[in-house]
Amino acid sequence: MTDKAAASAGTYDGAEAVASDRSALRLLGRAAIYAALAIWTFIALFPIYWTLTTTFKLGKDVTQGHLIPWVDFIPKWKGL
| Alpha-carbon torsion (60, 63, 69, 72), positive or negative | negative
**pLDDT the model gives residue 74:** 77
The alpha-helical segments, DSSP class H, found in the chain are 3-55, 59-64
Structural domain boundaries of the chain?
A: 3-64
pLDDT level of residue 12 (50, 70, 90 thresholds): low
- Checking if the pLDDT of 10 tops 80, the result is no
User: 18-76: per-residue pLDDT in tens?
Assistant: 778 888 889 999 999 999 999 999 999 999 988 888 887 777 777 777 777 777 777 77
Partners of 73 in the β-ladder: 69
The pTM for the full model equals 0.55
- Checking if the pLDDT of 17 tops 80, the result is no
